[in-house]
Amino acid sequence: MGKVALITGITGQDGSYLSELLLSKGYEVHGVIRRSSWPNTGRIDKTFDPESKQYIHYGDLSDGIDDLLYSIQPDEVYNLAAMSHVKISFDVPIYTSEINAVGVCRILEGIRKLGLAKKTKFYQASSSEMFGITPPPQNENSVFNPVSPYGCAKLYSYHLTRSYRSGYGLFAANGILFNHESERRGVNFVTRKITRAACRIKLGLQDTLRLGNLDAKRDWGHSKDYMRAIYMILQHETPDDWVVSTGETHTVREFLESVFEYLEIPMEKHVIIDESFKRPNEVPALLGDSTKIQTVLGWKPEVSFKQLVKLMIDSDLKEVALELLK
Ligand code: NAP
Ligand code: G4F
């Protein structure tokens, strides 16, 4: 019989790619979606097929998912649900802590109390934002120095995951993922904000793009590659903590220049620096050293920075062209 997985955050960028990956491996996939006033299943609509083994349940990390854990008895839980926007975490720090920290405690406690500790493996979506102002390169042994409510909440969950592993023998693993993007990236993260706006400028639908700090450096990979990594993390014989990154870093300005160059539009005419997009605290530079996962699990990123930029632009050009037809 195939394995059964439960994904929180299945409607997000990563959740949608992970669901596709697990379905392709014969898994029965259960996803938690939250109630919204407008459809939030756009990224997973194509896997809603009567033949597919993807099942959707309403739930929220503020409520806990014990009933689902009990009825599904999953072999693997991938906890991807989060308030995932760093800048917005400064606006809603208490909510961010409630979901990204206490919400994770609810799931771990659920697994423990329901007697699933020996059956259910748990994956926690930890983040390179936890390194904060620690200078690069960052690996599993680097000091955590978070400077945002998001980073602090994620660090709580990172440690809680380790503590349930050591205290209760749970197979509980952390992936410390560096920034990863895709054609499905949320439109208010910097890469997608840039590719979408540049395509709209190219096709005459928009004139300006307002951005904050262009000097920050990020290690950007593709979400599909990173979902392959987290699957491998839960298949390893022992639970552990793993940095997942490309090992290459670029400034936001470099990303921006690559996009405008590719589309052959002059940047100076269209880009405005807007202080309101800057953060109370910034993480200046992220560059991951993923030697551990590359040597122990044999994982390697396949999509380069250049390919990522091209994939995102080509996809946005198609999407914006459809907008023109409306
Ligand atoms: P995303 O696109 O923003 O997706 C977040 C998901 O969480 C969505 O499905 C969202 O539902 C769901 N969610 C939010 N609040 C919830 C709640 N209270 N209860 C239940 N579900 C809730 O983020 P992503 O880029 O796929 O990231 C996935 C995970 O990896 C997140 O935990 C993120 O913090 C972490 N992470 C991401 C990166 C990255 O660069 N992408 C790097 C490191 C770690 P809706 O669709 O209804 O909003
Ligand atoms: O795209 P961003 O919002 O991503 P950020 O803050 O690095 O967080 C992402 O990666 C984390 C992993 O390191 C994840 F845990 C987290 O969930 C999320 O996926 O911003 C990237 C950089 C920042 O330095 C920001 O200050 O871009 C800079 N930036 C400049 N102008 C902007 C903008 N960011 C956004 N979102 N919007 C701007 O206009």
Instruction: Tell me the pLDDT tens digit for each residue of 97-113.
Output: 999 999 999 999 999 99
Average pLDDT over residues 134-159: 98
Q: Are 193 and 187 in contact (CB under 8 A)?
A: yes
**Confidence check: pLDDT of 213 > 90:** yes
**CA distance linking residue 151 with residue 205, whole number of Å:** 36
Question: Which one of 83, 189, 195, 256 would you pick to mutate in the ligand 2 pocket, going by the greatest count of ligand atoms within 8 A of its CB?
Answer: 189
0.85 exceeded by pTM: yes
Report percent pLDDT > 90 for the chain: 96
Average pLDDT over residues 8-36: 97
285 has which bridge partners? Answer: 217
Q: What share of the chain is helix, strand, coil (3-state, %, to 5)?
A: 45, 15, 40
Task: Name which of 126, 294, 137, 304 is nearest 221 in CA terms.
Answer: 304
Going by CA atoms, what residue is nearest to atom 32 of ligand 2? Answer: 190
**Confidence check: pLDDT of 49 > 80:** no
- What pLDDT does residue 295 have? 98
- What pLDDT does residue 48 have? 78
Report percent pLDDT > 70 for the chain: 100
**CA distance linking residue 312 with residue 200, whole number of Å:** 13
**CA distance linking residue 67 with residue 110, whole number of Å:** 9
| Ligand having the closest approach to the CA of 86 | 2
Instruction: Tell me the pLDDT tens digit for each residue of 77-102.
Output: 999 999 999 999 999 999 999 999 99
The residue with tokens 């920075």 is: 305
CA 125 – ligand 1 centroid, Å:
9
| Ligand having the closest approach to the CA of 177 | 1
Average pLDDT over residues 290-304: 98
Task: Give the H/E segment covering residue 66.
Answer: helix 66-72
- What is the distance of C-alpha 139 from the center of its chain? 18
Q: Are 56 and 29 in contact (CB under 8 A)?
A: no
Instruction: Tell me the pLDDT tens digit for each residue of 151-195.
Output: 999 999 999 999 999 999 999 999 999 999 999 999 999 999 999
Going by CA atoms, what residue is nearest to atom 25 of ligand 1? Answer: 13
CA 165 – ligand 1 centroid, Å:
23
**CA distance linking residue 293 with residue 185, whole number of Å:** 24
Task: Name which of 181, 190, 180, 183 is nearest 211 in CA terms.
Answer: 190
Question: Which one of 130, 179, 193, 222 would you pick to mutate in the ligand 2 pocket, going by the greatest count of ligand atoms within 8 A of its CB?
Answer: 179
| Ligand having the closest approach to the CA of 219 | 2
State the catalytic residues. 127, 129, 150
End-to-end CA distance of the chain: 47
**CA distance linking residue 255 with residue 309, whole number of Å:** 8
Atom of ligand 1 nearest to the CA of 61: 19
**Confidence check: pLDDT of 1 > 80:** no
